[in-house]
Amino acid sequence: MADKKTVSLVVSDIDNTIADKFGAWGNALDAAMDKLAKLHGRDRADLEQDMLAHVPDSMKHISGPYIGKDLRMDVACTPSMKPTSPEMEKEQEKIFHEWDKEKSKAELYEGVLATINKIKSSGAKFVLYTDSRESVCVPRLAKMGITADMIDGLYVLPDLKDGQVVRKPVKGKAEELRNTLGDKLVVLPPKTNKPNPKNMQKILDDMGVKDPSTAVMVGDNVRSDGTAAVTLGMNYAWQKGGTVIDEATMRCYTVFCQDPNYKLTTAEHLGQMNDTNRPTEVLEGFKDLSKHYRFMSQEKAMAAKAQTQTQSGEKIHPAVMRRLAHKAR
């Protein structure tokens, strides 16, 4: 393996980068669809097509799966799935309850906490950056055991109601996390989904990073996570491990995800890889970050890079020169 690169900032996606979101969604929905088909005495494939035929037009313009984000609503929109008896309604509600419980599981990938600890203890900064809404993201992080002292920033999209930004209430540990994060929690402007170089540049500025090459973006989605990083001259570590999909999830994804721009599998991400989003490193898991990068504070990272460039005869970044000159006074 080549020498490790020195970085002072790690910006990480959340879903399928530090935790398995699609697996939880797919396995929960797969089990629920089997149970619903049995409850209604119907062939599962026929039931799925019936549900898809009744997806509201408003849902057809969102990114991601059409079915399975709100199974209760999906079923309520499908006339043939209306319970015909109180007993049937009770059984259907049990299915919804189990689906909701299973899809909400938030389990970090192996080695994530240890890697975050290694980043933070080195003096480097660790930021989470997601397209999830605040009211969805914060409770998930709380369930994962993420605390405010583990991160230097959390960048999320806002919750909207009738096109207006709102602050939805969260409860329990999620409320505690939101309160302790304070100014570390940054709600980005609406409709500024990834890839968004402007939002990425804001993160670099907020974290005091003058030289983008001392920062790395980690994410599973080549287009969404890689494009802005590559555009700005950051490193991009593709979390390939987050694109490995199990059979149950693949079954649901194949049927219910009809957005041609929504990519999930390893092969699909490889198919959209080009010079605008090509990763500098490929990870089999988040914990592999430490195999490719040496973490340290911004001051140390810039000094180390300046020394390397001086020895190799490369041109030193202007920001590095200014800082070195300031320290020499």
**What digits encode the pLDDT tens for the residues 45-60?**
999 999 999 988 776 6
Q: How many domains does the chain have?
A: 3
Choose the weakest-confidence range: 8-12, 181-185, 204-208, 309-313: 309-313
Alpha carbon distance, N-terminus to C-terminus of the chain? 39
Question: Residue 182, SS3?
Answer: helix
Residue 29, number of CB atoms within 10 A of its CB: 26
Question: Residue 164, SS3?
Answer: strand
Is 311 found in the same domain as 220? Answer: no
Average of per-residue pLDDT values in the chain: 91
DSSP letters along 195-238, please?
A: S-HHHHHHHHHHTT-S-GGGEEEEES-IIIIIHHHHHHT-EEEE
Q: What is the CATH number of the domain that holds 251?
A: 3.40.50.1000
Tell me, what's the pLDDT at 327?
45
Final residue in a domain of this structure, among 103, 130, 164: 103
Structure tokens, 138? 């914060």
**What digits encode the pLDDT tens for the residues 312-327?**
665 555 554 554 445 4
- Structure-model confidence comparison of residues 224 and 58, the more confident one: 224
Final residue in a domain of this structure, among 66, 88, 103: 103
Instruction: Say yes or no to pLDDT of 28 above 80.
Output: yes
**What digits encode the pLDDT tens for the residues 105-128?**
878 999 999 999 999 999 999 999
Tell me, what's the pLDDT at 264?
81
Domain span at 66: 24-103
Final residue in a domain of this structure, among 103, 131, 148: 103
Is 97 found in the same domain as 39? Answer: yes
Q: Give the C-alpha separation, 241 to 256, whole Å.
A: 23
Confidence grade of residue 328 (pLDDT, cut at 50, 70, 90): very low
Choose the weakest-confidence range: 22-26, 77-81, 203-207, 255-259: 255-259
**C-alpha triplet 128, 10, 326: angle, nearest 5°:** 125
Q: Give the C-alpha separation, 205 to 197, whole Å.
A: 12
Is 145 found in the same domain as 274? Answer: yes
Is 190 found in the same domain as 71? Answer: no
Is 276 found in the same domain as 312? Answer: no
Confidence grade of residue 79 (pLDDT, cut at 50, 70, 90): very high
Is 314 found in the same domain as 230? Answer: no
- Tell me the whole-structure pTM to 2 decimals: 0.87
Q: Which amino acid belongs to residue 266?
A: T
Q: Give the C-alpha separation, 204 to 163, whole Å.
A: 29
Q: Average of pLDDT values for 201-228? A: 97
Instruction: Say yes or no to pLDDT of 257 above 90.
Output: no
Structure tokens, 106? 């938030």
Structure tokens, 61? 């313009």
Is 98 found in the same domain as 192? Answer: no
Query: The dihedral of CA 13, 16, 19, 24: what is its sign?
Result: positive
